[in-house]
Structure 1
Amino acid sequence: MMKFIYTMLLLLMCSFVMAQIKPDYIYNPSIKTPKLFPLNNQLGLPIIQLNSSDQLELHFDDLGNYPKNYFYTFQLCNADWSEAQWSPFDYIRGFQQSRISQYRISSIAQVQYVHYQVNLPERSCVPTRSGNYILKVFQDADTSKLLFTKRFYVVDNKVGIAAQMQQPFNASQHRTHQKIQLSVNTSTLQAIQPQQIQTTILQNGRWDNASQKLVPSFIRGNILEYNAEQDCLFPAGKEYRWIDLRSLRFESDRIERISRTHIPVTVYAKTDAIRTGVRYLWYRDLNGFFDISTTESINPWWQSDYAEVEFTLATENRQPLKQPVYLMGELTGNQLSDSSLMEFDERKMVYYKRLTLKQGFYSYQYVVKDGNNQHPVATYDFTEGNYWETENNYTILVYYRPFGGRHDELVGLRQISSIQPNLRL
């Protein structure tokens, strides 16, 4: 009996660990450049309307010279990305797993890889409920051989959302932060309580600094007003830095030199400097996203090459900072992890980070990790500086759980820019 109980507890623990899937995470180091975005829009968040013809493009590369059997499935999640209490049969119409059959072996490129792509959702595998989803890609129809995960959103717009960017009234944050004033009209939802609504705001699609579990400041009938002084508040940062890798023969303005003694070639970016004391300058950026493209071939997805790109950051006094420094952007998954942590070179007295990147145009920033390990916070205070004029994109997500509901439905989504005119209900 004791042996049986021990076995059951072990199985439960294993199933619990397997359920804790990390979103936007690469589990296999041979997988490069996973990208999920709306059809023909690499700079957009992966959002589709429920029961619509909207589609997403999935692209990724597997370093090697022969194709493998790769499959994908969806996992429905709650607002906090915990797994929803539904069976996949309840939120997927069709097959629970689908094989990725479209692939091309790289051509022209010196680095060999197999490029895979698929348009989602396919007719044989369609999400049927609104909410947060995790796309899971794995090998040989075995979910334990997980390759990577990507977030995407299925929205069923039932509420009205009005939002605008304002300067905070607090004098200490007036010139450095951006505040989102928000109103949600819930008249189409039946007899709700404010506790049934969860509102989340993302800055440039990032979840590391998302404003979550917001509490309405005022309730006027069916209108929920979010206008507390410390709610919906974000450090503004500065416009993102960039590096142009669309050509590996022409050294663009942000490239110091290219070493071609090995394959892949090594690209040394020009050393970046701390920008906290530099005046704000507006220019069009990609807000942390990257665009796979090339000036030297026809199709960038399977004719682009890979390069080892080394980023360096010089501090003002040529001494390491007190907190860890991270390279932030879609190129590192917007995560404070080992994949984005920079090291300090004692000989050159600079921070450096080397990444394997595909040809394209990349935007990025440097951040410092603040807070404890359970709740780390990325701050620009010591690397970039904060100026309220900075152009940022904000995504407002409104979730609703009806009485007796088993997951958080995504019933409203709106995207705004901090430089757009004010938007009201």
Structure 2
Amino acid sequence: MKKNIFNLLLIIILPSTLISQVAIEVIPPDFIKTITFKSNTTEGQLPILELGETLELEFDALTANEEDFYYVIEHFNFDWTPSNLVKSEYLKGLDYQRIQTYENSFNTYQIYSHYNLTIPNTQTLALLKSGNYMISIYDDYDELMFSRKFMIYENIATVGVSVKRSRDVKVIAEKQSIDMVISTTNLNLNNPLETIRTLIIQNNNLNTAISNLKPQYTLGNELIYKYDTESSFWGGNEYWNYENKDVRAANVGVQFIKLKDIYHNYLYTNVSRKNQPYTYNPDINGNFLVTAIDSDDVDIEADYTMIHFSLSNDEIQNKDVYIYGNFNAYAIEPLNKMDYNTESQRYEKTMLLKQGFYNYKYVVVDQETDAIDEGAISGNYWQTENNYKVLVYYRDLGARYDRLIGYGEASSTNITN
């Protein structure tokens, strides 16, 4: 009887244990703002670095207390379960070290401290392996403040990426499809159906990424992927944007301003574009850039402003509307959930953001299923300019971790049939 109860407990506990092992980014508290990765090749919320390249993480703390923060780095498999490597195998030096470089804001209404972490440094000498990583930031009380994913690749495989119109005629006007060719001369890809895994990312958004497609054909040393539907993404629409590098004057997307305790910027009301003809409007594919006029160092001289978003739309029953983009790592959280104003018949939200140029979009989330519909407000169009990144992972037979052996990138500017 006891044995049966023990087996039943295992059946109940093990699945939840396995699920909990999959790494999920932790959303920062409201006083942590403007988390930004910088490198020689990328800037934004999803750095993909070549092995040996410098990683730079920056963020602001709006507590005005010059708090101490500590960082921890962990290595993960392709599916974001912990890898079998011990820390000394993928990290030379030490982590769980205090972030020593920070500066206080200068001449700003909102007081904050700007933190900068560069790896390698005197404590963390190098990251030794390719693959998936997570960096976690803790405070003085060992409380996890936030975590962010990043990837390190070895330049072994050549990854050719091309963007095509959907081969499914039902959605040919709304979707984009990704074709890939993977080749390598320095590594024998043994049994690629089992050892090769791929990840396709649209506009740095891991939430909508397509993972683990298998090669359809092998031609010499080339692996060819030309799927009809499995590698297709909704085209979406160009992002809305605003710029407030001058907080004292209306600028791109800003209708008017008010000075209270800090500056308030009121954006023009957006309207649904779902059933409108596609109009090209250059964007930076969901990214953001901190900018401020008459500033020598925007890291500490750019101010924070209250941004007032509004969307003219009928209330959507049983669904919620959120604002997101790279500025909050495409997170769905209470801080970016919009409220419906029955008098103005608008969705409204106020967010505290650092000065700069921001891309954003409105998405709809089903209250029962949590399914995200990115095209419910903006629509989906095959002409939309999107950025696509393809990551290629390889685990040879008997290997203990997934190597990231190749990285390719393409824009739908050059989309073809």
Which AA in structure 2 matches 1:309? I
Offset of residue 283 of structure 1:
2.9
Distance in structure 1 (CA, Å) of the matches to 2:15 and 2:258? 49
Structure 2 residue aligned with 1:377: 372
Which AA in structure 2 matches 1:265? Y
Distance in structure 2 (CA, Å) of the matches to 1:182 and 1:164? 7
Q: Give the 3-state SS of the residue equivalent to 2:171 in structure 1.
A: coil
Structure 1 residue aligned with 2:405: 411
Structure 1 residue aligned with 2:177: 179
Segment of structure 1 superposing worse, 78-87 or 353-362 = 78-87
Offset of residue 223 of structure 1:
2.4
Q: 1:281 to 1:294 in 2, by over 3 A?
A: same
Structure 1 residue runs of 4+, over 6 Å off? Answer: 12-18
Alignment of 1:152 onto 2:154 = no
Which AA in structure 2 matches 1:48? L
Alignment of 1:353 onto 2:349 = yes
Q: 1:181 to 1:127 in 2, by over 3 A?
A: same
Match of 1:309 among 303, 307, 310: 307
1:384-406 deviations in Å (ceiling 9; x for gaps): 11111111110000111122222
Matched-pair contact (CA < 8 Å) for 2:201–2:390: yes
Q: 1:214 to 1:19 in 2, by over 3 A?
A: closer
Alignment of 1:79 onto 2:60 = no
Q: 1:36 to 1:281 in 2, by over 3 A?
A: same
1:9-35 deviations in Å (ceiling 9; x for gaps): 9xx999989865522x33433211111
Distance in structure 2 (CA, Å) of the matches to 1:337 and 1:195? 37
Q: Give the 3-state SS of the residue equivalent to 1:68 in structure 2.
A: coil
Give the alignment of 1:362-373 within 5 angstroms: 362-369=358-365, 373=369
Which AA in structure 2 matches 1:288? G
Offset of residue 100 of structure 1:
1.1
Alignment of 1:128 onto 2:128 = yes
Distance in structure 2 (CA, Å) of the matches to 1:40 and 1:299? 21
Structure 2 residue aligned with 1:22: 24
Distance in structure 1 (CA, Å) of the matches to 2:412 and 2:19? 40
Structure 1 residue aligned with 2:284: 286
Matched-pair contact (CA < 8 Å) for 2:395–2:401: yes
Offset of residue 265 of structure 1:
2.5
Offset of residue 234 of structure 1:
0.6
Alignment of 1:340 onto 2:342 = no
Q: 1:68 to 1:20 in 2, by over 3 A?
A: farther
Structure 2 residue aligned with 1:66: 65
Offset of residue 239 of structure 1:
1.2
Offset of residue 186 of structure 1:
4.8
Matched-pair contact (CA < 8 Å) for 1:307–1:358: yes
Give the alignment of 1:14-413 within 5 angstroms: 21-23=23-25, 25-39=26-40, 42-43=43-44, 45-50=46-51, 52=52, 54-125=53-124, 126-140=126-140, 144-186=142-184, 188-261=187-260, 263-315=261-313, 318-320=314-316, 323-369=319-365, 373=369, 376-380=371-375, 382-413=376-407
Distance in structure 2 (CA, Å) of the matches to 1:397 and 1:388? 23
- TM-score, normalization by structure 1: 0.87
Offset of residue 322 of structure 1:
5.0
1:322-366 deviations in Å (ceiling 9; x for gaps): 532221211232123333322212222111122110011000111
1:281-301 deviations in Å (ceiling 9; x for gaps): 223211000001101322111
Which AA in structure 2 matches 1:379? E
Question: Could you list the runs of 5+ residues in structure 1 that have no partner in the other structure?
Answer: none
Segment of structure 1 superposing worse, 36-45 or 249-258 = 36-45
Distance in structure 2 (CA, Å) of the matches to 1:210 and 1:13? 24
Q: CA RMSD in A?
A: 2.7
Q: How many residues align?
A: 404
Q: Give the 3-state SS of the residue equivalent to 2:300 in structure 1.
A: helix
Q: 1:186 to 1:378 in 2, by over 3 A?
A: farther
Matched-pair contact (CA < 8 Å) for 1:371–1:377: no
